[in-house]
């Protein structure tokens, strides 16, 4: 056996010993807890498959706690969450309580876990958010409250919080947002899809005017009313108001938004009462007004003031004719995406006055 072959064998033995040592360390550090939980010492994470009393069953150095049940329990030990539940878990960075039967959050519930970055409370039975229940959390990247039974966002619901993304989807009984719900809050993205909102007021939203960059309100279960001055002072990258049964477009005059999506709001344009002007939308680069399933035609134009291109997407000409878009605008081109008609055959009819 030559020296090269012996060296290769030696390296192979060393590699095998190292792999065995790493596996042994991993096995030692992965500790099975009493009950339906497992704790990973490397990640300091605990994963449980059913609700359990806190904090007794979880090591106090846990940074990631995920409790996900396959189905909501009829009687849950986590029905009401209070601050003492987290008094020994002060290193938590991520908390997931999905289908845990949570119904009520006491004031200051999370005051002992100020370093939380992700809080997931989806698929529970929470009916009301108010009264500083989240007070004490310094900076949340995600706060997920979708698929609960929320009826309102009450006073001081998110007072003083900084939240990267707040999701409130699939709460069909959520009808009201209190004027002080977002008092002193900083929220970047707000998602309210599948809710039952009756009205969004300027008073309720003004505190997040400077921080909010994306607002998604879609598939509202009842006709939604928006204050005419709701978006004054807002600078949104994306405003999505899809299938909200809107009937008044007065809110479009306020705010500077890069993209506006108003698909599925046929009543918004019925009777020709609502118009979109280039002057009102000096900054907007994309405006979507789809009213059906099929793209019919689109127009891109720019205003005389800003000369910034705006692309408008419209489905079904009955929803909004291009000639009903007044204001100082140059129509740059018109195209048909899936229609037998050709704009070049009669641009005056289908595209308005075409000029550069």
Least confident of 51-60, 215-224, 241-250: 51-60
Most confident of 93-102, 268-277, 299-308: 93-102
Q: Tell me if the pTM is above 0.85.
A: no
Run of H or E residues at 151 = none
pLDDT of 300 above 90: no
140 vs 33, higher pLDDT: 140
Secondary structure (3-state) at 294: coil
β-partners of residue 187 are 163
Averaged pLDDT, 114-133 = 95
Asked whether the beta carbons of 239 and 215 are under 8 A apart, the reply is: yes
Averaged pLDDT, 252-276 = 77
**Residue 319 confidence (pLDDT):** 46
Tell me whether strands 30-32 and 37-40 are parallel, antiparallel or unpaired: antiparallel
Question: 110, 105, 111: which is closest to 126 by C-alpha?
Answer: 105
Which own/partner contact pairs does 304-312 have at CB distance under 8 Å and 24+ positions apart? 304/278, 304/328, 304/329, 304/330, 305/278, 305/279, 306/282, 308/282, 308/283, 309/285, 310/278, 310/281, 310/284, 310/285, 310/286, 311/285, 311/286, 311/287, 312/276, 312/287, 312/288
Averaged pLDDT, 131-138 = 90
Secondary structure (3-state) at 162: strand
Q: How many CA atoms lie within 13 A of 101 on its CB side?
A: 17
pLDDT of 177 above 70: yes
- Across 77-96, b (16+ Cβ under 10 Å) vs e yields ebeebeeebbebbeebbbbb
**Whole-number Å distance between alpha carbons of 313 and 261:** 9
**Residue 275 confidence (pLDDT):** 52
**Whole-number Å distance between alpha carbons of 240 and 218:** 7
CA dihedral 12, 18, 24, 28 (to 10 degrees): -170
Tell me whether strands 259-261 and 238-242 are parallel, antiparallel or unpaired: parallel
Cα four-point dihedral sign 210, 212, 214, 218:
negative
pLDDT of 321 above 70: no
Computed over every residue of the chain, the mean pLDDT equals 79
pLDDT of 173 above 60: yes
**Residue 329 confidence (pLDDT):** 39
**Residue 344 confidence (pLDDT):** 41
Asked whether the beta carbons of 126 and 95 are under 8 A apart, the reply is: no
The single-letter DSSP state of residue 44 is T
Phi then psi for residue 176, to 5 deg, are -135, 140
């Amino acid at each position: 056996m030559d020296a090269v072959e012996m060296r290769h064998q030696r390296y192979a033995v060393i590699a095998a010993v190292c792999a065995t040592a790493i596996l042994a360390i991993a096995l030692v550090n992965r500790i099975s807890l009493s009950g339906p939980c497992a704790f990973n010492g490397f990640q300091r994470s605990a994963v449980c498959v059913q609700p359990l009393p806190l904090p007794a069953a979880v090591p106090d150095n846990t940074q990631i706690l995920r409790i996900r049940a396959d189905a909501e329990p009829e009687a849950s030990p986590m029905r009401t969450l209070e601050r003492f539940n987290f008094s020994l878990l002060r290193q938590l960075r991520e908390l997931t309580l999905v289908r845990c039967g949570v119904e009520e959050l006491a004031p200051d519930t999370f005051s002992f876990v100020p370093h939380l970055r992700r809080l997931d409370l989806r698929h529970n039975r929470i009916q009301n958010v108010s009264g500083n229940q989240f007070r004490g959390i310094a900076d949340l990247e995600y706060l997920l409250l979708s698929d609960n039974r929320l009826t309102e966002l009450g006073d001081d619901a998110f007072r003083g919080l900084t939240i990267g993304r707040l999701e409130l989807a699939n709460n069909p009984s959520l009808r009201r947002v209190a004027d002080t719900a977002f008092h002193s809050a900083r929220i970047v993205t707000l998602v309210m899809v599948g809710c039952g909102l009756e009205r969004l007021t300027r008073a309720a939203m003004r505190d997040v005017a400077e921080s909010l960059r994306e607002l998604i309100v879609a598939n509202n279960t009842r006709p939604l009313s928006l204050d005419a001055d709701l978006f004054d002072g807002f600078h949104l990258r994306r405003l999505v108001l899809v299938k909200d049964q809107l009937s008044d477009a007065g809110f479009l005059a306020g705010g500077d938004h890069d993209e506006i999506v108003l698909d599925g709001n046929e009543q918004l344009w019925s009777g020709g009462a609502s118009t979109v002007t280039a002057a009102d939308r000096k900054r907007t680069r994309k405006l979507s007004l789809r009213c059906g399933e099929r793209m019919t035609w689109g127009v891109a134009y720019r205003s005389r003031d800003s000369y910034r291109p705006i692309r408008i997407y419209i489905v079904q000409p009955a929803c909004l004719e291009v000639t009903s878009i007044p204001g100082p605008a140059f129509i740059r081109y018109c195209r048909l995406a899936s229609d037998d008609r050709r704009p070049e055959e009669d641009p005056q009819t289908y595209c308005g006055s075409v000029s550069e």
